[in-house]
Amino acid sequence: MNEFKLIDDVMPDVPPAGHGKTAEARARVLNGGRRRRISAWTGVLVATAATVAVIGAIAVVPRLGGGPVATVTQTSAEEVLSTAADRMARRQEATGGRYWRREMEQVYRQRISVGGREFVAEDRVRDVRWNGIDRNQVMVFSGLGTRPFTAADRAEWEKAGSPRLCGSDTDCRNDMIPIGKTRYLFTGKKGLEQSTLELSVRELLDLPQDPAELKEKLLSYWPAAREAMKDTQSTQSAQVKLPEQDYWLWGLGERLLLDAPTTPGTRAAVYRMLAGLPGVRVVDGIRDVEGRVGVAILRGGANGESEEQIVIDRETGDLLATQDVLPVPTADQGNIPPGIVYMSMVIKKLGWTDDEPVIPEGCGPDQKEECLR
């Protein structure tokens, strides 16, 4: 599961970690320093290399001395994204519901080594966020289970004795979101909080719908955010690198898409703003872990770093998923072949509702102990 996303929700000042450090830290956090009964995760898999699919539009033109002939005109990925953003921006979306509700699945694929056998396992967590005007957020996380990724992985898992799989918690005792159970979090926050930035739901709904104006508005928060991150870094390892302005803006844009109630016009502006950042590419034909194909905004992927992908439905402009890939093998990755998405946030539902979150009896914001059912 995305334990670091869980940490981000309650500790937004912490700078993001690289994929190698994340894998190492996840193991420490989840196992509390205990000796594991079976070997720890040995690394993080690389993701499917992006493939570019060009959409062809057929046009009929006259031919001298004869009938018409069909020619093919190509639509660029940038044009596909622009069309999808236009459709999103024109959407009429009611915002009068009690809550903005986002449901997604966090998906992780990692390699496990047990008894001399190695196999890839896929871990899934259901993640639902409720966010309403003048209402505190409610976050609900349910462990959906861990299983071998492919048939070949299942065969290796069986040869290893079919050990119990519990995400990255190999002793199955100290997981933040135990499989088959649900954790309820009540943070007391309203809207969106990241570093020194705190925006209410009303402020989020009033964000600009023009990409240039949106960028200018968000960058007005950057100086204070950078100072806060410097203070955070002073208490951490010197190896932690502060995100530069564009990287911070990318991360904030992702949060606006994944975790914040925003208007369709603002969401479309986020797409265009992120696509215009230096070094960012737009590629059509990217497939998410559910097999859905969309146009994607990509950053990173050079010098062994992760490539971050924001995958968008070409027809509706809806966000399909965000996902991380490693296009090439890296030194801290071990002997892991490229070609697999190793982390993804897959959107299932997103929008306004009058439904209330169902909270178990004895579980609420005044509960002093953890709420795990």
Q: pLDDT by residue for the chain (373 residues), tens digit each?
A: 444 444 454 444 444 444 433 433 333 323 322 222 222 222 322 233 333 333 344 334 333 344 444 444 467 999 999 999 999 999 987 766 788 999 999 998 888 888 888 888 888 999 999 988 877 788 888 888 889 888 998 998 889 888 888 765 556 665 667 777 788 888 766 788 877 788 888 999 999 999 999 999 999 998 888 888 776 655 555 455 667 899 999 999 999 999 999 999 999 999 999 999 999 999 999 999 999 999 999 998 887 778 899 999 999 999 999 999 877 765 555 434 466 888 899 999 999 988 888 888 777 666 655 677 7
Which residues lie below 8 Å from residue 282, measured CB to CB, with a gap of 6+? 77, 78, 80, 81, 275, 295, 296, 297, 298
Please tell me whether residue 21 adopts helix, strand or coil conformation: helix
Which residues 6+ apart lie within 8 Å of 273 measured at CB? 211, 212, 214, 215, 249, 253
pLDDT value for 297: 97
What DSSP letter does each residue of 162-198 carry, written as one string? ----BTB-TTSSS-SS-BT-EEEE-----SEEETTEE
What pLDDT does 226 receive?
A: 83
Residue 143 confidence (pLDDT): 85
Tokens of 339: 């070609």
| Count of Cβ atoms closer than 10 Å to residue 361 Cβ | 6
Contact assessment for residue 110 and residue 123, using Cβ atoms and an 8 Å cutoff: yes
pLDDT of residue 126: 92
What is the structure's pLDDT at 175?
61
pLDDT at position 372: 76
Q: Are 49 and 281 in contact (CB under 8 A)?
A: no
User: Rounded to a whole number, what is the distance in angstroms from the first to the last CA of the chain?
Assistant: 17
